[in-house]
Amino acid sequence: MNPPGKPTALVTGSSRGIGREIAIHLARQGFNLLINGRHESDELKHTQQLVADTGAAVAACPFDISRIDEFDRILADLWGRFGGIDCLVNNAGISVRRRGDLLDVGPESFDEQIAVNLRGTFFLTQQVARRMVAQPTDRFRSIITISSSNAEAAASERGEYCIAKAGLSMLTKLFAVRLAGSGINVYEIRPGLIRTSMSLVAQARYDTLIEAGFSPINRWGEPADVAGPVASLAGGTMPFATGEVLHLDGGLLIPRY
């Protein structure tokens, strides 16, 4: 059981990259952490140690977000051991296996994107929300979903990814409306170009775009550029806002002439 009085956050996909940085920032802000990866790994253990080094209580709970049939068992265990979850950060996600022509997208790639990036996130959010609603508290509670600038900006070479991320935008609005009466705030974060293993597969292309003036704040974003605002939202700095989108993209989506 976590120390009394401290909120608990579950961050999916926190074995590395943006998720790892979010977990560390939340720990520094006073949260105890449930960290997640698809399976047990050295990367997940490393995140666990980094979070523990902040003084926060931390437990690793590896599970595959696409295996929605396991959520009830997993969450029942987490609720029993930690007394509840005050903040869910939906960060887990995958990129397309191969970028290419939209006209060549096959059902396997499309279904994989929906299963992991949208379907799994929806049903995990639903399960957590049910338990939150059934367990009122005076603590600030939130659900924060990491989508992408591609929820708005079309990238036809990975169209199935864009479609899944666009679905997360509506997910945010729907849960914001449903959960507001229970005191649960819901937000969407849209990162732009962030330096992670997912984006570095196209590093040369993005380096060239940056040289040409890719965005007003013309540089690679770092995981900390996302993690800081997520921790701020989870801490209750915007209690009168819900269903809102925060663009963390260096101004990439500002219309320009």
As annotated, the active-site residues are 161
DSSP 109: H
Containing 118, the helix (H) or strand (E) segment is none
In order of 59, 85, 126, 128, the CA distances from 179 in angstroms are 27, 15, 10, 11
Annotate 108-139 with b (16+ C-beta within 10 A) or e (fewer): ebbebbbbbbbbbbbbbbebbbeebeeeeeee
